[in-house]
Structure 1
């Protein structure tokens, strides 16, 4: 018995060390997978969780979203990059809070974000998009000044159970977002995957770096 207790006592610090090492590694990986400014997942981590949602959801609808801020360049030019960072940070916070019970959200880069959410039906999805667009357009302040920002949202509405490639769905959502932005902002939903715009290197022509049902500026 004494030999057993001695062995356990000797192993305990080593086991504790491995536990601390494991937690440290986990934190490093988690930090690397998250955007430093917003704390949202980066593209790679988002693609993993989004693909799981698209693959496993069996009821309702799954929507793939692309969100782009309107007027962001003007904010940077007029108010400075610190104001732009404030706008991005606040947008990320709002998106994370909105998406938490529904799905997952990420910052793709610059002022562009993406999300995948689950809704009971298309009508519920339209209500969620209206709520999100209004919230993203509500005032963000920097140094006591309101920043002139809006948001354009595109969504591809997917029927669960059918095979779907996330990159294709993001392209469709990007085209819907672009259609909404071209008509003044708002949100737009598409059920079609076939590209409506010319493709350059697999992306919509003119994009930095996707039958439309629209509201608040969509066509």
Structure 2
């Protein structure tokens, strides 16, 4: 269903359509005026019009028929023409002039034509009607002056009768002209203002339709949508459990509640450590101030049952002072988005071969110790696989990869929940551990490696070094790593020396 508002008419379009309507109506009246002749003839027969001849009645009907037909033809070709309008008014004036010439008494009827011209709401047409009306009134009165002056003893000459009659007509014409101009201006102003108001209403309706279309689109995107109207102080769901219930519109009373009905139903489902943050974010009494010049404010929270969601307040309309007056509150599940995000982070922070944390993760983890003190039981272990190059050269990279994976598994078993293990290079590993006995953990690492047997390799040996914060309290994490590296390289050198292996070939 198309709810788009119709285009509003301009004032000029209104005048044009009005001319067409009035022209058609005047043409109908002209056709009815054909019966003026027969009506006068009845008056003659009844001796009401004692000074009128029957031939005048015929002339009037014929003349009116010709004028009505001529105006009809103009109406068909130029229905909105000012000339067509003027022709209709001139036809009525000619009818009155001929009636006067036929000695049918016409007085106030003369002023009917200018009044009819006011229907066009056009000052030009009105002025023409007044002037043409007065001229024909003047001419027809002059033509019958000799006859009427001879019938009355109080006028000595035709001129005296003419001046007396036309004097009254002139005064009435002046009064009518002034009054007509005032009425015409009043009517024109009224219609113009009405058209402007209509245009404003259509524009407002268009804006509201656009906003509703946006809201409808939003309702398809979000899980819950609540329309908050600060003009009427109401809230109404557009999407959600009660979206189809029009009676569900509720009043907002800040004296009673500082949250909408919708958010009051959600607060209990928020995880405990985020509940207060959600309460602060959804406080409806502060939403207008917090939005300010912003289009949108949002926050992310966790629902105990459905997971992560994003809550937003979106400005749909502002008042004249710029204050948000119609606001849309939306809730959208972002659980899948968060899972994708966590997956990408995990990929970015994880070594592909061993699934251990990588150097990037290690560097980010130790940044925290730039801002806080290192714990007393903190230790850094540096680990390296012995004989990896020889395994790659003699048995292939599958054997080398097997040793790297084996080392990671052994380190994870030894460290367990006491810390994190990172693969920082080809055969290089680092472990951050919280332990009071670093030497014992080093032994555990080597024992796990010594007990391992694989498909390509039966032996796994590792070189291990460590640096405990309690032994070097003055050193940073980076410096502890260097100490652990030096110890690891000494251990590796001792291994190769004891095995009688030239390390330069490894």
What TM-score do you get using the length of structure 2 for normalisation? 0.32
**In the TM superposition, what is the alpha-carbon distance from 1:74 to its structure 2 partner?**
1.1
Deviations 1:82-138 (A, max 9, x none): 121122112112212322321111001111100111112xxx221111111121233
Larger gyration radius, structure 1 or structure 2: 2
Runs of 5+ in structure 2 lacking a partner?
Answer: 1-225, 228-234, 244-309, 312-329, 497-503
Which position in structure 2 is the counterpart of 1:67? 383
Q: 1:167 aligns with which of 466, 472, 478?
A: 478
Which position in structure 1 is the counterpart of 2:337? 21
Task: Say whether the 8 Å CA contact 2:383–2:462 is kept in structure 1.
Answer: yes
**In the TM superposition, what is the alpha-carbon distance from 1:52 to its structure 2 partner?**
4.1
Does 1:8 pair with 2:321? Answer: no
- Within a 5 Å distance, the mapping from 1:54-203 to structure 2 comes to 55=372, 58-59=375-376, 61-120=377-436, 124-142=437-455, 145-159=456-470, 162=473, 164-184=475-495
Number of residue pairs matched by the alignment: 179
Runs of 5+ in structure 1 lacking a partner?
Answer: 186-205, 207-219
Report the Cα distance in structure 2 between the residues aligned to 1:25 and 1:160, rounded to whole angstroms. 40
More strand by share: 1
Aligned CA distance change for structure 1 residues 94 and 52 (closer, same or farther; 3 Å): farther
Task: Say whether the 8 Å CA contact 1:57–1:161 is kept in structure 2.
Answer: no
**In the TM superposition, what is the alpha-carbon distance from 1:57 to its structure 2 partner?**
5.0
Which position in structure 2 is the counterpart of 1:45? 361
Which position in structure 1 is the counterpart of 2:113? none
Aligned CA distance change for structure 1 residues 58 and 148 (closer, same or farther; 3 Å): closer
Report the Cα distance in structure 2 between the residues aligned to 1:160 and 1:182, rounded to whole angstroms. 23
More helix by share: 2
Task: Say whether the 8 Å CA contact 2:385–2:428 is kept in structure 1.
Answer: yes
Aligned CA distance change for structure 1 residues 93 and 75 (closer, same or farther; 3 Å): same
